[in-house]
Structure 1
Amino acid sequence: MMDTAGDKLGTVRDVVVQVRSAGRAPRAKGLVVELFAQHRVFVPMVRVRTISALQVTISGVLNTRRFERRETEILVLQDLVDSQVRRRGADKPSWVFDVSIRQARSHDWEIDEVALRSSTGPFARRTYDTIVDWSDIDVFVVGAGRSTREVLARMEDMKPADIARELHDMTPERREEIAAALDDESLADAIEELPEDVQVELIQALEVERAADILEEMNPDDAADLVAELTPEVAEQLLGRMEPDDAQDVRRLMTYDEFTAGGLMTPEPIILAPDDTVATALARVRVEGITPALAAMVYICRSPLEAPTGRFLGAVHFQRLLREPPSVYVSSLVDADLEPLRPEAHVSTVSRYFATYNLVSAPVVNEERQLLGAVTVDDVLDAMLPDDWRSAQMDGLAPSEAHWAADRVSRDLELRRSRSTGKGSPDGR
């Protein structure tokens, strides 16, 4: 295996795959790579740039943590090759001789075809008889128990909120078992949708290294909210195990009150330089993993282009980008009438701001006009909904009209009380 500079990093020893539901081809999650000291590590497929008969090329930093297979993961060479399977409609079993993988779409690889031999045993003959599509193979049990593997396969195409509902309804023991088998990205997305008490229980049940990895995968604002619910000792331990840049983002967000723009924002909006073009902006907007709310607006700043940035120059709406030629500089398209939020702005001020300007994303700047991050409409709704709305969602229920009415009355009473004492409204006005 080589890096993009052509330097050899190690030798590919196996492929990690995960079986999916409804007969779909197993997805390749990553490679098992042996470094020069016979130390095996995991390389996710998103790092793989090219695969040829002679070498694999990857990009990015190599995580040298020793590879440990999770319960529901299958290794192609160790588990699939020489295993017994049955073709659909066949009377006799076959043995797997080899498998091929193909790139289904960008960074997404899956098992494509299987070479089979039909001899009386896995080692009777070292040649194959036929090559078939994976869809012609009946699913077989390898590694983990069928029940756990079936749960993981069923979750493969679920939305994070649905995975969260499944986890919520499990016993704590079963929840920990499934969480241990889920990949980091899926588990992080699901945890963001769980009630706070379940979030805390689940993150504390994970090993420290895995918990830190999960926090790195979560949106920084959600990770900050979760870390704030932990004991100081546990929080500091997890932050110490996170990548320094990710931990710094979380620590910065934790300095703001939960119900302010600073506490709601994400420090990772789409930030561009003044001389970037519309074509560059649209390419950034198209990046997989950026939420629709964050993709609705790009922010133009002086260098540095990571929050806190250089001087904030303005924002450009996604629709404006679509109406302009690709070669136009984004700095010529900024919305001069959009005044950014301050980090101390209360959520009530933020919600009125969103309603006034019909926004789904908004910039947050400090006194020096540095961009600190962006608040999205989903974060505002999350802060304004009743505290137990996630628990109600887990039960498949919508908040009752009575609950909403009681919540509104409570807010009105708080406002009247603050006015009578001369302290102004909750947002400081």
Structure 2
Amino acid sequence: MAAGAPRIFVSHLSGVAVFDPAGDQVGRVRDLVVMLRVAQRPPRLLGLVVELATRRRIFLPMTRVTAIQSGQVITTGVLNVRRFEQRPTERLVFGELLDRRVVLTETGEEVTVLDLSVHQLPARREWEIDRVFVRKGRKGSAFRRAKGEALTVEWTAVSGFSLEEQGQGAENLLATFEQLRPADLANVLHHLSPKRRAEVAAALDDDRLADVLEELPEDDQIEILGKLKEERAADVLEAMDPDDAADLLGELPTDEQERLLSLMQPGDAADMRRLMSYEDRTAGGLMTTEPIVLRPDATVADALARVRNPDLSPALAAQVYVCRPPDETPTGKYLGTVHFQRLLREPPPSLVSSIVDSDLQPLDPDADLPAIAGFFATYDMVAAPVVDEAGSLLGAVTVDDVLDHMLPEDWRETEFHLAEEEVATDGS
């Protein structure tokens, strides 16, 4: 559902078919998962509960939904088929919010929730519940339909849903810090007690926890991962950037590595093993295995559509890599790079193969950190392709990973302490 698209009432999603990009049906929507927030703020829509043909119910994050239209849900095709388990901070829309008695704030009148509407926030990946369809009068029963005026009101016009301001549940803490950037939330977690840190980590959704783990010192990463159930830990590792996940896995005992790898999707596990086979502080060890890869017959319009993906970091979105099939690393022959600025200057129907930059030499997977840093400085790059002797694209190194490994090992903890001192100074 594109930004600015009309709102959708959740009753229209019940039982709706879910399809992958190839048009094959993977299941049907059975519920929606939301996270309530304090101060009557509209809840975030986290994802859908999808029932597969096998009757297993799985969780489909909204970040994996590309469209909701014409009575169907379209996904990216990446599904985690582990059984859905509701977390303490999550609420099921059909199971817990519909048919609930709430109060109209303006009049104090009790009403029954008949439906809720969701919409996608402009220029963002987040979805929210924004309106409530309610009926006045007494609640009906299985044998008697309730009578009374039905009306649609803003979420803020009713009470009885939102979290209480008091208490120290993890959901209240998450609601307080939900607008923080991952690095800032990592700072918060770093200064919590181990018990509290584990509670908050357990309550975060997989994608959010993955983003935060990438910003934490190594000791905190290992501690948090060790307190998660193994299946959840594998899910979080899959949601992390492959290079960061491989670094974290590399710090674990071999038997624990193997257990987690066995629980991951085969493709993700293969990427992890490949990254872990390279020496630390080399291009192979620093690279991500998920750059934007396009075939020679792709158009500029295709490339720009891929670059717009909000899941990509700015560095990875700065350029695309043109290769012969297959489209995923390790690919067929690497043909060259097309920079984002060049894409903006070309007509959308143009083929990327006609504007590819083949003069820039890619990095060898065994290139060491000084050589990589020199490459970035010489050519003013923010990302660089890593290509093996056979000419296949293995991945891409981004400038943030280079900086991360060039700074002192404890630089994250130092930054956290500096931030803490600045807060203390400002408050004095």
Query: Structure 2 length as normaliser, TM-score?
Result: 0.84
Counterpart of 1:134 in structure 2 is: 155
Question: Measured at CA, do residues 125 and 145 of structure 1 come closer, stay the same or move farther in structure 2, by a change above 3 Å?
Answer: farther
Match of 2:73 among 33, 42, 57: 57
Counterpart of 1:111 in structure 2 is: 129
Counterpart of 1:188 in structure 2 is: 210
Distance in 1, Cα, partners of 2:189 & 2:313: 23
Q: CA deviation at 1:291?
A: 1.0
Counterpart of 2:241 in structure 1 is: 219
Q: CA deviation at 1:115?
A: 2.7
1:355 is the counterpart of 2:377: yes
Q: CA deviation at 1:56?
A: 4.1
Counterpart of 1:149 in structure 2 is: 171
Counterpart of 1:47 in structure 2 is: 65
Distance in 2, Cα, partners of 1:2 & 1:316: 38
Indicate the SS of the match to 2:104.
coil
Pairwise CA RMSD: 2.9
Q: CA deviation at 1:226?
A: 0.2
Counterpart of 2:17 in structure 1 is: 2
Query: Does the 8 Å CA contact 1:79/1:142 hold for their aligned counterparts?
Result: no
Distance in 2, Cα, partners of 1:318 & 1:48: 23
Question: Measured at CA, do residues 100 and 276 of structure 1 come closer, stay the same or move farther in structure 2, by a change above 3 Å?
Answer: closer
Q: CA deviation at 1:146?
A: 6.4
1:71 is the counterpart of 2:88: yes
Indicate the SS of the match to 1:352.
helix
Counterpart of 2:188 in structure 1 is: 166
1:245 is the counterpart of 2:267: yes
Counterpart of 1:388 in structure 2 is: 410
Match of 1:235 among 244, 257, 264: 257
Q: CA deviation at 1:95?
A: 4.0
Q: CA deviation at 1:92?
A: 4.7
Question: Measured at CA, do residues 362 and 90 of structure 1 come closer, stay the same or move farther in structure 2, by a change above 3 Å?
Answer: same
Indicate the SS of the match to 2:354.
helix
Please give the per-residue CA displacement for 1:281-309, whole angstroms capped at 9, x wherever unaligned.
Answer: 22211122111101112112222222222
Q: CA deviation at 1:118?
A: 4.7
Indicate the SS of the match to 1:102.
strand
Query: Does the 8 Å CA contact 2:39/2:162 hold for their aligned counterparts?
Result: no
Q: CA deviation at 1:367?
A: 1.3
Distance in 2, Cα, partners of 1:70 & 1:368: 47
Counterpart of 2:394 in structure 1 is: 372
Match of 1:340 among 339, 362, 384: 362
Distance in 1, Cα, partners of 2:349 & 2:130: 41
Structure 1: gaps (5+ residues): 400-429
1:87 is the counterpart of 2:104: yes
Distance in 2, Cα, partners of 1:35 & 1:279: 34
Indicate the SS of the match to 2:349.
coil
Query: Structure 1 length as normaliser, TM-score?
Result: 0.83
Distance in 1, Cα, partners of 2:235 & 2:375: 35
Question: Measured at CA, do residues 289 and 114 of structure 1 come closer, stay the same or move farther in structure 2, by a change above 3 Å?
Answer: same
Query: Does the 8 Å CA contact 1:261/1:344 hold for their aligned counterparts?
Result: yes
Letter matched to residue 132 of structure 1: V
Distance in 2, Cα, partners of 1:61 & 1:270: 16
Structure 2: gaps (5+ residues): 1-15, 422-428
Q: CA deviation at 1:378?
A: 0.3
Question: Measured at CA, do residues 137 and 378 of structure 1 come closer, stay the same or move farther in structure 2, by a change above 3 Å?
Answer: same
Q: CA deviation at 1:327?
A: 2.6
- Aligned residue-pair number: 397
